[in-house]
A and B are shown apart, each in its own frame.
Chain A
């Protein structure tokens, strides 16, 4: 068969797929009678209200000399690890603002970092296509550097995001610019499973983010520049369990909802969406129109412990707190006193849900907490 024939068949097949997808979309729209906010309003729910002293910046973590790209909390104690373009990972004590570790990275172009469930190790990855693991308890070598305890190499593109499997210090999942997600076994340094990639059906563009369900650690979601989010079961690497369409731009971030039956996604089209994994429906769109030209991109997101609040960081420095049920912005942390001066690149909620940490391109991290719960220094 000649090249032109193959091309024609490919185009015809693509057209068929797109038509079917459009039909599916129409069918879904028929089945969906309302979205979450419509239903909540019909039930008489009112938005959460925030007073001026309710959520304040109680700590400013200064120390990075470059843009902060990523942060993660420990599941146990109140420690945060942050990764920055200055080539360092800093581990902070969130209560005292002190730095307990400053790890110089072999490759300064780091895009992600994560704390292990035990709090003993941190993982980071970036443009070097490798996920490096550092053990925080191992002694510093003679140059004053922390040794890398394990390098997970195998990706053919940059590592955009990594997360440890809950309660397992030995496994983590990375997402990469080579369009795959990989489950690694840290003790051997080998890949246990590869999700997507050349010979399997997976994402068709760079994968930007992963989120593992806390209620069922076998499930995880990945978000990609191909505008979709995919749900994977770690036991089945050959194909995604479900693909979620709806976004019109690169999906920059995904996060599971606390109950594990839904997940949220944030994208370059400026919207966040809530999807249900059981039905595959898009439950809600979170978007606030701006007025002026450029639509700010969503860079990061996190749900509160109950799921009622959704914290979203944007590329213009805004950090909206959405009421998840009513799809209303109830607070903008980018407009209050002490807000960040640059893009918010990452944010995360502490394990007990009492504090939110945001990291920004202005090189600082800020911890926000409910007034009175964490005393301001």
Chain B
């Protein structure tokens, strides 16, 4: 059930401090914010069982969509959602563009009820095939489609909702084989809280080393075995006790979705911000700070992966970076004066913000890379970069000269950007 493992888990690994001559194991800890990293074969078996978790996840996460439509159809007072501005005073039972027909409304009410009582596990994924046609009908209903157009206002709807809901019936059949793209899109929609790890091998050759290409008689370079451990960020908070178990990892990879700078989430009551709804980027910043400050990572290098660059690029055209309170002093230069686009400048600005934060906490350099997680090539490059960081960190221990601050591995794509306003 390889693909089920893939979909419901992700990537797994163990860290081992011991070195053996034949192969060296290094562990990398990946703190994930929705990165879909492939590299696993997609041998699928029962399409239903494999994809059911994400489909169920979509059902569960689409409940804000259903809830909003439910309210809209009843046209009750919607001050919280600020949804149908002009229609709050209309009489009950008025039809509007968001009204579902009664049969579909009954189904959606039933779904919302079982989610509310927490009994979803009792019905799904067992009943997925039975309900899939109904789900597809609900999805295709113009009321839902209208609501979905305003998805930017719904903070808890997963971005992949339309991808899976559109082919609900197809996916729910027994013979369906998930494609690689399905697996990539399913990442992050599962309900499990466990971690996932994956072992992989990369050879030790790097473009920087001398043995590259010249010496044909030499034995093949030892294959270094790496293990990647993916942690669901939902399981992390100030009291996360199990982080100590990862004390021995060689590097911590912190993934941040760039496009989340204007997204909100529900922050727990006792968090520092004091508000119920918190900007996601601010949350990532807090989480990052907690991780960096944690005593067990005192000596561990951090790599920051700024992900979803493509979505970030698109979003910047409509929503300013200042939507996140941390980035309010971003002042981009006009794009036509230089070759760097707005997205580029914003990327470097965000990278500098994180680097400054890291330097103020540890006095060390933060390594940053960008990625488009569903694009295999950028993820591949990110991994090669991480591997270089790990090797550089090891070599740093073995050489004895003090103050070797300037490594020839740059800490971002270019080592500094002239576009950031000097403070």
A residues sitting closer than 8 Å to B (CB atoms) are 2-3, 7, 10, 65-66, 69, 85-87, 107-109, 111, 127-130, 156-158, 160, 177-178, 198-199, 205-206, 208, 225, 250
Our count of residue pairs bridging A and B at CB distance below 8 angstroms stands at 61
Contact at A206–B239, with CB atoms within 8 Å?
yes
CA distance A158 to B231 in the complex (A): 12
Extra inter-chain contacts (4) besides given A109-B14, A160-B241, CB under 8 Å: A65-B16, A127-B194, A156-B191, A157-B235
Contact of A156 among B14, B193, B195, B242 (CB under 8 A): B193
Q: Bound complex: CA of A157 vs CA of B197, how far in Å?
A: 16
Interface of B is mostly: loop
Q: Give the shortest distance, in Å, between A316 (CB) and chain B (any CB).
A: 13
What residues of chain A lie closer than 8 Å to B195, measured between beta carbons?
109, 127-128
Q: How far is the CB of A69 from chain B (nearest CB, A)?
A: 8
Contact A198/B118 with A127-B195, A127-B245 known, Cβ cut-off 8 Å = yes
Interface residues of B (CB under 8 A from A): 12, 14, 16-18, 79-80, 118, 191-195, 197, 235, 239, 241-242, 245, 269, 276
Tell me the nearest residue of chain B to A110, going by C-beta. B245
Chain A's nearest CB lies how many Å from the CB of B236?
Answer: 11
Set of chain B residues within 8 Å of A66, measured between Cβ atoms: 16-17
Q: Which residues of A contact B12 (CB under 8 A)?
A: 107
Are B193 and A157 in touch, CB under 8 angstroms? yes
Question: Is A129 in contact with B194, judged by CB distance below 8 angstroms?
Answer: yes
- For A159, give the chain B residue with the smallest CB separation: B194
User: In the complex, A206 Cα to B235 Cα: how many Å?
Assistant: 10
Cβ B239 vs Cβ A3 within 8 A = no
Given A2-B79, A85-B245, A198-B118, verify A108-B239 contact (CB < 8 Å): no
User: A177 and B242: CB pair below 8 A?
Assistant: yes
A186, B179: Cα distance in complex, Å: 37
Known contacts A86-B16, A109-B14; A158/B194 CB under 8 A: yes
Q: Contact check: which of B18, B193, B269 meets A129 at CB < 8 Å?
A: B193
Measured in the bound complex, the distance between the Cα atoms of B269 and A206 in whole Å is: 16
B245 touches A109 (CB 8 A): yes
Complex contacts, B242 vs chain A, CB 8 Å: 109, 111, 127, 158, 177
A–B pairs, 8, beta carbons within 8 Å: A2-B80, A10-B269, A86-B14, A108-B197, A109-B14, A156-B192, A156-B193, A206-B241
Question: Which chain A residues border B18 with CB–CB below 8 Å?
Answer: 65
Contacts of A3 in B (CB 8 A): 80, 276
What distance in Å separates the Cβ of B83 from its nearest Cβ neighbour in chain A? 15
CB pair B16 A177 closer than 8 Å: no
- Complex Cα gap A178–B193 (Å): 9
Determine how close the nearest CB of chain A comes to the CB of B242; give it in whole angstroms.
6
The distance in angstroms between the C-alpha atoms of A2 and B14, with both chains bound, is 47
Residues from chain B with a CB closer than 8 A to the CB of A250 are 239, 241
- Tell me which of A65, A111, A225 contacts B239 (CB under 8 A): A225
- Contact partners of A2 in chain B: CB under 8 A: 79-80
Give the residues in chain A near B14, CB-CB below 8 Å: 85-87, 108-109
A330 to B79, CA, bound (A): 66
Bound-state CA distance A208–B244 (Å) is: 14
Q: Which residues of B contact A111 (CB under 8 A)?
A: 242, 245
Please give, as numbers and ranges, the residues of chain A lying within 8 Å of B192 by CB-CB distance: 129, 156
Contacts of B80 in A (CB 8 A): 2-3
* Chain A residue nearest in CB terms to B275: A7
Q: How far in angstroms is the closest Cβ of chain B from A337?
A: 26
Question: Which residue of chain A has its CB nearest to the CB of B192?
Answer: A129
The 6 closest A-B pairs by CB, nearest first: A108-B14, A129-B194, A156-B193, A225-B239, A128-B194, A157-B193
Residue in B79, B118, B191, B239 whose Cβ sees the most chain A Cβ within 10 Å:
B239
CB-defined contacts of B197 to chain A, threshold 8 Å:
107-108
